[in-house]
Amino acid sequence: MKQINLLLTTGLLLIFLPLTSCMKYGPSQTEDFPPGPTGEGLLIINEGNFMYANASLTYYIPGSGKTENEVFFRANGINLGDVAQSLSIFEGNGYIVVNNSGVIFVIDPNTFRLKGSITGLISPRYIHFIDKRKAYVTDLYQEKITIVDPQSFRILGYIPVTGHRSTEKMVQWENFVFVTCWSYDNKILVIDTVTDRVTDSLEVGCQPTDLLLDGNGKIWCAAAGNLYRIDARSRKIEKTFPAQADGARTYLAMNASRDTLYYLNKSLWRMGTDQAATDIAPFIVLDKRTYYGLAVDPVTSHVYVADALDYVQQGKVYRFNTRGVPVDTLTTGVNPGFFCFK
C-alpha cells in the first residue's frame, strides 16, 4: 500500500510541476549608437508617467528626419527612471535630471552611454552651470538649492531658500541667477553666484514656471497665464502681457537671435521681445488642447511643439519652419516635455 501511495504522490507532483514556466525578466541588451552629424541633433526628454518609471530619451536628427527612441535604455540597458524632467549639455556631457528617481545621469550626448551620476538629491528639477566646477540644482520639495560639481559628480553644498517649498527654472544674467519658485508660490529669487546666497527676490503671478533671458538683458517669466518682462539689472517688472485667458500654464521659447519669444496658448503665438502688445492672431493655429513642451532650434529657428496626446501613449512632436509651415512629425516616448539641442 505504501508503494501505491508513493506512486500516487509522485505522479501527481509530476502532473503539477510542468505547469511552471520562466518569466521574461532580467538583464537587457545594449546597443551602440554611432555619433550623429557634428553640431546637429535634438535630444527630447520624455517625462513618462509618475510612478511608472517609463521616462525615456529620444534622439532626432533634423537634417535627415531620423528618430531613435529610448536611446538611454538601449545604450545602457537600464531605465532612465521615473519622471525625467530636463537635460542640459555642458562641456561635452549631457546631464539628465530625473525628478522622482532623485538622480542626475551624466551621459555622452553622442553615444548616450552613462559617464556617471549625481545622487543624494530628493526631487531634482533643473541644473544650471555656473562654471566648470559648480552647478545649481533646483528641487520640487526642498527649501534649498543643491550645489554640485559637474566634473566629480559630487554635492558641494546648499543654498537655503527658506520659506519656498520648491524651486524650478533658472537663468543667469551676469553674476546673478534668477530662479522661479513654482509650487504654490509667486516669487523669483535672485542668487549671487559668488556668495551662493539669495540676495533679492521679486513677486510675479502665481506658480511661475518658465524663465528665459532675451538678447536685451530682459528676463521673461510665465506665471498665472501672464508673461512678465523683467529688467535683469533693476529687477523690476517692465511689462505684463496677458497670455492665457483662463490663467493656465504656458510654455516659452526664444529664437536663435533671442529677439523673438514663442509661447503656447492653445495655439502657438510669437512676439518680438520689444513689442508693446501681443499679436491678435496666433502664429500657428493648433487644435486647442494642452500641449506639453515647446522649443526653438537655436540655429534654424524651427519650432518644435510637444503633444502628449492622452498622456499614456507615445507622444508626438510637431516641427514647423520659421514661416509656420509643418516640416516633420516625430513619434517620441510618453509625455515629451523637454528639448535640448546638441
Partner 1 sequence: MTRFLFLFPLLFISGLTARAQDSVQTRQLDSIRITARYRLRDMGMQKTSLDSMELHSDITGSLAHVLTRSSSLFIKHYGRATLSTASFRGTSPSHTQVTWNGMKINSPMLGMVDFSTIPSYFIDRADLYHGPSSVTLSSGGLGGAIALSTSTPAQEGLSLQYIQGAGSFRTFDEFLNISIRKQQWSSSIRLYFASSRNDYPYTNYRKKHFFYDDQGNVSGYEYPVERNKNGVFRDFHLLHDFFLKGSGGGTWYVSGWYSATDRGIPLLNVDYKESSSVRNNQNDNTFRGILGWRKLHNGSKLEARAGYTYTDMLYQYQRGLGDGNWADMVHSQSFVHSLFSQLEGEWYLENWMFSANITLNQHFVTSTDKAVISTQGEQSLLGYQQARLETSGFIAARYRPSERLGVSVSLREDLYGKKMTPPILSFFAEYLVSRKGQVMLKASAARNFRYPTLNDLYFMPGGNPLLKPEEGMTFDGGLSAQDKGRLVNWSGNLTGFYSRIRNWISWLPTFKGFWSPVNIRQVKSYGIEFRGSAEIHPGNNWTIGGLGNFSWTRSLNLGDPVSWADQAIGKQLVYIPEFSASFTGRVSWKQWTFTYDWTYYSERYTTSSNQTRTQLGVLGPYFMNDIALEKSFRFNHTVLHVKAIVKNLFNEAYETVLARPMPGINYTLSVGIVPLFR
Residue from 24, 38, 91, 323 touching partner 1 (CB under 8 A): that is: 24
Is residue 58 involved in binding partner 1 (CB under 8 A)?
no
Max CA pair span of the chain: 100
The only residue of 3, 14, 27, 236 in contact with partner 1, by rule CB under 8 A: 27
Residues 310 and 316: beta-carbon distance below 8 Å: no
| The one-letter amino acid at 180 | T
* Minimal distance, residue 223 CB to partner 1, in Å: 11
Asked whether position 47 contacts partner 1 by CB under 8 A, the answer is no
Tell me if 74 contacts partner 1 by CB under 8 A: yes
According to CB under 8 A, which residues from 261 to 280 bind partner 1?
266
Residue 23 CB, nearest distance to partner 1 (Å)? 5
Site string for partner 1, 300-319 (x = CB under 8 A): -------xxxxxxxx-x---
CA 141 to chain centre: 17
Counting contacts by CB under 8 A, is residue 237 touching partner 1? no
> From residue 199 to residue 218, what is the string marking binding to partner 1 with x (rule CB under 8 A)?
-------xx-x---------
Across-strand partners of 116? 106
* Residue with smaller CB distance to partner 1, 9 or 216: 9
Considering only the stretches 88-96, 117-125, 235-243, 319-327, report the one whose residues sit in contact with partner 1 under the rule CB under 8 A.
117-125
Residue from 57, 97, 103, 271 binding partner 1 (CB under 8 A): 103
CA–CA dist 240, 221 (Å, integer)? 10
Residue 54 near partner 1 by CB under 8 A: yes
- CA atoms in the 13 A half-sphere facing the CB of 2: 0
- Among positions 82, 168, 210, 214, the unique one binding partner 1 when judged by CB under 8 A: 82
Q: Is the dihedral of CA 63, 65, 68, 72 positive or negative?
A: positive
Q: Taking CB under 8 A as the rule, does residue 8 contact partner 1? A: yes
Amino acid letter, 38: T
Shortest spacing between CB 256 and partner 1, in angstroms? 28
Length of the chain counted residue by residue? 342
174 binds partner 1 (CB under 8 A): no
Degrees (nearest 5) of the Cα angle 261, 201, 252? 15
Sign of the torsion angle spanned by Cα atoms 100, 104, 105, 110: positive
Question: Is 257 near partner 1 (CB under 8 A)?
Answer: no
User: Residue 285, interface with partner 1 (CB under 8 A)?
Assistant: no
For residue 43, CA distances in Å to 23, 34, 194, 216, 309 come to 33, 15, 31, 28, 20
Q: How far apart are CA 279 and CA 268, in angstroms?
A: 11
